[in-house]
Structure 1
Amino acid sequence: MAKKVIVSEFIAEAALEAFGPAFEIRYDPALVDDPERLRLELAQADALIVRNRTRVDLDLLKAAPRLRVVGRLGVGLENIDLDACAEKGVVVRPATGANTQSVVEYVIGAMLVLRRGVFASSGNVLAGDWPRGPLGRGGEVHGQVLGLVGLGAIAQAVSKAARALGMSIAAFEPYLTPTDPAWSDVRPCGLEELLALADVLSLHVPLTQSTRNLIDAAALSKMKPGAVLINTARGGVVDEAALAAALRTGRLAGAAVDVFTAEPLDAAAAAVFKGCPNLILTPHIAGVTEPANARVSQVTVENVLQVLTDD
């Protein structure tokens, strides 16, 4: 009997060819928005492949008595109940490292755009305006401090790229020992010290009880005036209303936000950001590029295959 694999969110379809004829593949990215149909599909499933929107909880697992493995197209596991999976004997395999480069380039690109402040001028120039004066007052990142909240693999890769631009790096990471090699060329800081020091603050932490609203109004008030903030971590780590207020008052010089408390972000939730200057909003795609999707998909399929073929 062929082993059945359900894919409930988008994947690079070419990667699925690695399963071969011994597997029945049900690829339907609409399943994430149809929980009842997903449960029906899972009744005879051996594996489930998801991104960040499919909720893998105890209720879903009860509908999948044969399930052996959940492959995560990415690294965040907030949508997967790890305790429930362990209770049911279901292995969880994230695609660790496969989208690191995409996130690094997003963070560096956003940082440069926010600091320079010139890349939205095409309309003015085409209209015959010539705003050299105001646009010539843009900033540089060379010589500035990049503050990292979290110093995992992605943050370390961001650090390496930022050093090449002449930045110095500081980080808040309470879970690394002082002798960890990750601290090489990185200044360790407490969170309050980091907030006051960073010209650019980039977030790289999961959403947990301790990180929810970690960057709230109080934290934002302690940031260096004129700093910029980049969140590619998880929605809920930043208080979105407080961030919008800090941008409107000029306390912060800019922000790039790729993740939100409610996703997909609807018009009502997005209204909090209305009128905020120097703000970049993107729909949770910092780690999603065509090359990254191919890598993530390949790694995920390999991870699932390893579990299903392990006798």
Structure 2
Amino acid sequence: MDVVASDDPMIDAELLVERLDGSATVTVAETGTEEAVREAASDADALVTDVSTPVTADVLEACADLRIVARAGVGIDTIDVAAAAEHDVIVTNVPEYCTEEVATHTVALLLASLRSLGRYDRDVKAGGWDWRVGGEIHRLSGLTLGFVSYGPIARRIRQLVEGFGVDPVAYDPYVDAEEMAVDGVEKVDFAELLDRTDLLSVNAPLTDETRDMVDAAAFERLADHAVVANTGRGGVVDEVALADALEAGEISAAGLDVFDEEPPEESPLFERDDAILAPHAAWYSEEARADLHETVAANVRAALAGERPPDQIDPDLDWV
């Protein structure tokens, strides 16, 4: 069996070969464009993709032998899941390999933004020594932490901040209020979430429903001292509107690990002291990377053996 894997640094061909127990040949190829994917996977049985690999209907049409597209990560917004189903190609992801890491990273972004650590760091390194450069900072205890989507990552964030004395609320139309209440979280609608939230954690996947959900109107509803962290998907937050909101003082700070375009060639956020930016690294730990390869290999092995992979995506869901 022939497996083509993206050349993204997070994917380790040797680890994949090891986890596949020698049952397949793994070829690493550049997969950042449709043309590159078509060329690399034209005769492949399996394709292992990264966050930037475009698997379109045209790609799937051209790769007649393809049986599985295995996303080495959580988000599948670059994969045409409906077209894959039409071509009898299974799509899988790795939904929970980095729950701990993303939750920890989100808390770090929220706390660093709340405490103006980016501003303080740059000021001290430039020779300054003034606590006032951090702007208006509020005590963490007593603030409301609002979640956009209440899945495994948000649940772990809630556990991590349990001792901080924050009040958790969440917007998620797919999770019952009773289920949230078990965790001590209040279910609210999106408007109420924005009206009450001091710390906004965006953990939603990118779908037609969530694209640009956190837009200019949303920033206007948030408190002026609010902090926003996005570790979900870049397209959920309107980055131009975010920069405008920071400039206008409609919110106080933001921390982003994901962007609408990755890597972003330019952004109005680059020069802002009130924005902390990371290179889609929230997933990373050595332990998570090992788990990732184990799960990708398990999905590929199952598909190539004619079995249902444990993490097969339902094509009937409303994926972008």
TM value normalised by structure 2: 0.87
Q: Deviations over 1:173-205 (max 9, x none)?
A: 111233335753001111111101111001111
Q: Provide the C-alpha distance between the structure 2 equivalents of 1:110 and 1:101, rounded to a whole number of angstroms.
A: 14
Give the 3 Å change call, closer, same or farther, for CA 123–218 of structure 1 in structure 2: closer
SS of the residue corresponding to residue 7 of structure 1 reads strand
8 A Cα contact 1:163 1:169, kept in partner: no
Give the 3 Å change call, closer, same or farther, for CA 241–35 of structure 1 in structure 2: closer
SS of the residue corresponding to residue 170 of structure 1 reads strand
2:251 is the counterpart of 1:255: no
8 A Cα contact 1:248 1:277, kept in partner: no
SS of the residue corresponding to residue 185 of structure 1 reads coil
Write the letter of the residue equivalent to 2:101.
Answer: S
SS of the residue corresponding to residue 5 of structure 1 reads strand
Write the letter of the residue equivalent to 2:4.
Answer: I
8 A Cα contact 2:119 2:133, kept in partner: no
Give the 3 Å change call, closer, same or farther, for CA 58–297 of structure 1 in structure 2: same
Q: Provide the C-alpha distance between the structure 2 equivalents of 1:126 and 1:164, rounded to a whole number of angstroms.
A: 32
**Cα distance, 1:19 vs structure 2:** 1.8
Give the 3 Å change call, closer, same or farther, for CA 70–275 of structure 1 in structure 2: closer
- Report what 1:174 is aligned to: 173
- Report what 2:15 is aligned to: 15
8 A Cα contact 2:71 2:94, kept in partner: yes
2:107 is the counterpart of 1:74: no
- Report what 1:242 is aligned to: 241
Give the 3 Å change call, closer, same or farther, for CA 188–7 of structure 1 in structure 2: same
SS of the residue corresponding to residue 175 of structure 1 reads coil
**Cα distance, 1:14 vs structure 2:** 4.3
Structure 1 residues 253-292: aligned runs within 5 Å: 253-267=252-266, 270=267, 272-273=268-269, 275-292=271-288
- Report what 2:317 is aligned to: none
8 A Cα contact 2:32 2:54, kept in partner: no
SS of the residue corresponding to residue 76 of structure 1 reads coil
Structure 1 residues 286-305: aligned runs within 5 Å: 286-305=282-301
- Report what 1:211 is aligned to: 210
Gaps of at least 5 residues in structure 2 are: 308-320
8 A Cα contact 1:213 1:239, kept in partner: yes
8 A Cα contact 1:214 1:237, kept in partner: yes
- Report what 2:28 is aligned to: 27
**Cα distance, 1:166 vs structure 2:** 2.2
Give the 3 Å change call, closer, same or farther, for CA 295–117 of structure 1 in structure 2: same
Q: Deviations over 1:59-110 (max 9, x none)?
A: 1112221211111111111111111111111111111100111111111001
8 A Cα contact 1:9 1:49, kept in partner: no
Indicate the larger mover: 229-238 or 110-119.
110-119
Give the 3 Å change call, closer, same or farther, for CA 138–25 of structure 1 in structure 2: same
Write the letter of the residue equivalent to 1:293.
Answer: R
8 A Cα contact 1:70 1:93, kept in partner: yes
Q: Deviations over 1:8-63 (max 9, x none)?
A: 143134421122333111023xx123543432332221111012111112211122
Matched residue pairs, number? Answer: 304
2:307 is the counterpart of 1:306: no
Q: Provide the C-alpha distance between the structure 2 equivalents of 1:148 and 1:224, rounded to a whole number of angstroms.
A: 15
Give the 3 Å change call, closer, same or farther, for CA 124–176 of structure 1 in structure 2: closer
Write the letter of the residue equivalent to 1:56.
Answer: V
- Report what 1:106 is aligned to: 105
8 A Cα contact 1:12 1:293, kept in partner: no
Indicate the larger mover: 215-224 or 14-23.
14-23
**Cα distance, 1:294 vs structure 2:** 2.2
8 A Cα contact 1:200 1:228, kept in partner: yes
Give the 3 Å change call, closer, same or farther, for CA 128–252 of structure 1 in structure 2: closer
**Cα distance, 1:284 vs structure 2:** 1.9
